[in-house]
Amino acid sequence: MAVLIFFILSLSILILRLFYLQVIRFGFYSKLANEQHIVSVEISPRRGTIFDRNMRVLALNLNSDSVFANARIVKDKRGTSRALAMILKTDEGELYERLSRDKGFIWLKRKISPAAAEEIKRLNIEGIDIIKESERFYPNRDLACHKIGTVDIDNTGLEGLELKYNNYLKGESGWLISTQDAKRKLL
């Protein structure tokens, strides 16, 4: 009889605990799961092309590679910063400081050469990845450069036509909203 009462009491406690977790605390755990599994990354738009009156290209965008890190899953931060500093030709201490932050997304270097991007891919370091961005390119280099103007690293017009018509050329940003697994890999 004591064993039966023990099992009934244990089962009752278990059912109450399940009710508490699944009904009363549902909102808290649902929010926590969404924060851990849903990731949103801003996607920069492609800036518009500038043509002359004969429809020759004066300014256009090309794809460029940029390196970012999920610092939370980079295990060997010192070794990673040492390896990346040689490839990216940047300060090892600065890279180590960035990788030491508790963040899920950190730019390490933007708009790098294709050769450097390939070297980084070959290293296959967990938490380090490459993303494509658009980079402004002027085919005629200095021809009418004062009139055409320039853009910053985020493709925002700084001077000339690039600044004057920035609202038309910049486009609208988008968002990549995705889920990630327990190892923070995008699904």
Q: Is residue 141 part of a domain?
A: yes
Residues 27 and 90 in one domain: no
pLDDT digits (tens, 9 = 90+) for 120-177: 999 888 888 898 888 888 998 888 888 999 898 888 899 999 999 999 898 888 887 8
Task: Count the neighbouring beta carbons within 10 Å of the beta carbon of residue 161.
Answer: 16
In the chain, at which residue ranges do the beta strands (DSSP E only) sit? Answer: 38-43, 50-51, 57-69, 106-112, 128-137, 174-179
CA angle 60, 149, 135 (to 5 degrees): 35
3-state secondary structure of 181: coil
Tell me the whole-structure pTM to 2 decimals.
0.62
pLDDT digits (tens, 9 = 90+) for 9-43: 999 999 999 999 999 999 998 888 777 788 777 77
Residues 101 and 143 in one domain: yes
Q: Is residue 184 part of a domain?
A: no
Q: Which domain holds residue 63?
A: 46-171
Residues 108 and 51 in one domain: yes
3-state secondary structure of 43: strand
Longest dimension (CA), the chain: 97
Position 184 confidence tier, pLDDT thresholds 50, 70, 90 = low
